[in-house]
């Protein structure tokens, strides 16, 4: 921590007061100490929810070390390294011979208080066959137990859980002998399927239900569907127009798009979506000229 530079100094006496005689003294060594400021490095993050971090400075033979927390000496902390597990501002004093230097303080922050929270990874309302991933807040030393309707879910002891059934989900987080419980997250699974007879009736009656006097009317049938469906559009007095059909998911991402021109007042377009698309609610957006119509479509598998 210290650099010692030797310098030789010779003193010569002048002629004043010595009858014109001069002389040279013996060599006097002057030692100049340059104290290097010690630097603290951390073995990992200094801001964490639990655990510890190793703080260290350079190890030099003969040096004397004293670690401080919030300006106060830490009893017995006289090595070149120190393991910090409590929040505070840590500093090290290094002594080498007559050279004494202090490092800049390093801040360690350890989270206080045990808490539990659930973050859904997607919509918590969806059709049968869908699911949502529930994520826990994580920290080293935490253990988990997921609950549904206040009952432990067997084997659900990880930091995430895939919920595929309706219910009220809760998370218990334990660290040591302490536990915390999250707020409830409600998952709702809807039956989006319809019978074959309902599909047939929907298909046969859709044109009858459309108002021929309407300027712009749109129907999707069957709805819900399994990805194969028909879009019926009635657009009286709107012919020869450019049409854009776009289907987007709840994130606003387009999963289907088509452009074509209208030749008749009534259009029937059959659509088959990618079979890998997940079940859920999608939005059908149709633009004809400057007219835009939106409707929800439920994909059930």
Beta bridge partners of 262: none
Location of structure tokens 């994909």: 299
Buried b (16+ CB within 10 A) or exposed e, 101-126: eebebbebebeeebebebeeeeebeb
Structural domains of the chain, ranges and CATH numbers in brackets: 2-110 (2.60.40.10), 118-190 (2.60.40.10), 196-299 (2.60.40.2550)
Task: For residue 231, give both structure tokens.
Answer: 């879009």
Provide CB contacts within 8 A for 183, sequence distance 6+: 117, 118, 170
pLDDT, tens digit, 9 for 90 and up, residues 68-118 = 999 999 999 999 999 999 999 999 999 988 899 999 999 988 876 788 999
Q: Which helix (H) or strand (E) holds 163?
A: strand 160-163
Closest CA to 245 of 287, 200, 191: 287
CA atoms within 13 A on the CB side of 105: 12
Location of structure tokens 């990805």: 227
Omega prior to 107 cis, within 30 of 0? no
Q: What is the pTM of this model?
A: 0.41
- Structure confidence at residue 195 (pLDDT): 46
Closest CA to 145 of 110, 180, 111, 120: 180
CB atoms within 10 A of CB 7: 9
Task: For residue 21, give both structure tokens.
Answer: 């005689």
- Structure confidence at residue 256 (pLDDT): 93
Question: Please, are residues 208 and 241 in contact by the beta-carbon 8 Å criterion?
Answer: no
Beta bridge partners of 290: none
Rounded distance, CA 107 to CA 50, Å? Answer: 15
Per-residue pLDDT of the chain (301 residues; tens, 9 = 90+): 444 444 444 444 444 555 555 666 666 555 545 678 899 999 988 877 777 899 999 999 999 999 999 999 999 999 999 999 999 999 999 998 889 999 999 998 887 678 899 999 888 988 887 889 999 988 877 899 999 999 999 999 999 999 999 999 999 999 878 899 999 999 999 876 544 444 445 444 444 444 444 456 788 888 888 888 888 887 654 556 788 889 998 878 889 999 887 666 777 888 999 888 888 888 888 887 777 788 888 888 6
Rounded distance, CA 230 to CA 212, Å? Answer: 18
Rounded distance, CA 217 to CA 245, Å? Answer: 14
> Residue 37 carries which DSSP code?
P
């Amino acid at each position: 921590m210290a650099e010692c530079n030797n310098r030789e100094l010779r003193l010569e006496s002048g002629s004043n007061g010595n009858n014109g005689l001069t002389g040279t003294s013996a060599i006097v060594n002057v030692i100049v100490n340059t104290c290097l400021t010690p630097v603290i490095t951390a073995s990992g993050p200094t801001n964490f929810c639990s655990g510890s971090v190793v703080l260290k400075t350079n190890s030099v033979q003969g040096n004397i070390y004293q670690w401080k927390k919030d300006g106060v000496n830490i009893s017995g902390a006289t090595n070149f390294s120190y393991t910090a597990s409590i929040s505070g501002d840590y500093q090290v004093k290094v002594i080498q011979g007559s050279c004494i230097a202090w490092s800049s303080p390093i801040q360690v922050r350890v989270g206080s208080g045990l808490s539990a929270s659930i973050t859904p990874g997607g919509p918590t309302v969806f059709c049968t066959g869908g699911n949502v991933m529930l994520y826990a807040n994580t920290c080293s030393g935490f253990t988990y137990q997921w609950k549904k309707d206040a009952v432990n879910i067997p084997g659900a002891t990880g930091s995430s859980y895939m919920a595929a059934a309706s219910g009220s989900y809760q998370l218990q987080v334990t660290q040591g002998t302490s536990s915390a419980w999250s707020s409830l997250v409600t998952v709702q699974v809807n039956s989006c399927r319809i019978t074959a007879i309902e599909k047939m009736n929907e298909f046969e009656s859709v044109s009858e239900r459309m108002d021929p006097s309407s300027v712009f009317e749109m129907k999707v049938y069957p709805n819900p569907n399994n990805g194969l469906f028909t879009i019926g559009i009635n657009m009286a007095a709107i012919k020869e127009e450019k049409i854009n059909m776009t289907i987007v998911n709840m994130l606003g991402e387009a999963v289907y798009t088509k452009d074509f021109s209208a030749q008749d007042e009534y259009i029937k377009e059959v659509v088959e979506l990618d079979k890998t698309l997940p079940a859920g609610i999608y939005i059908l957006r149709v633009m004809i000229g400057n007219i835009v119509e939106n409707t929800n479509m439920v994909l059930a598998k």
